[in-house]
Amino acid sequence: MALPSILTEAEIAAGLQSCQAADSFDCKTFFVKVGLKSKDQADKVFGILDQDRSGFTEEEELKLFLKNFSASARALT
């Protein structure tokens, strides 16, 4: 399952726009901007982000969090 099947392109763009600057990522703001309103949606997104299928989102996966929404997005620090 890919993120566009859960979120619209406009929602993804709004979320990425909210955290373009370094050190500007705020998870609550980002989730509101991309339209994640339910626990079920959030679980699906984190399931996609869990690249190694370990059941956990590790530091390396979190660094690439935004890149899962768009290849041109920045890496988190």
The CA angle 5-49-39, to the nearest 5 degrees, is 65
> Over the stretch 24-75, which tens digit does the pLDDT of each residue have?
999 889 989 988 888 888 888 888 888 899 988 899 988 998 988 888 999 9
User: Domain total for the chain?
Assistant: 1
Spatial distance between the Cα atoms of 17 and 21, rounded to a whole number of angstroms:
9
Under 8 Å between Cβ of 76 and 25? yes
Residues annotated in the binding site for Ca(2+), as ranges? Answer: 50, 52, 54, 56, 61
Residues annotated in the binding site, as ranges? Answer: 50, 52, 54, 56, 61
- Residue 15: inside a domain, yes or no? yes
- Residue 75: inside a domain, yes or no? no
- Residue 57: inside a domain, yes or no? yes
Containing structural domain, residue 52: 3-69
Q: pTM of the entire structure?
A: 0.76
Q: What is the CATH number of the domain that holds 56?
A: 1.10.238.10
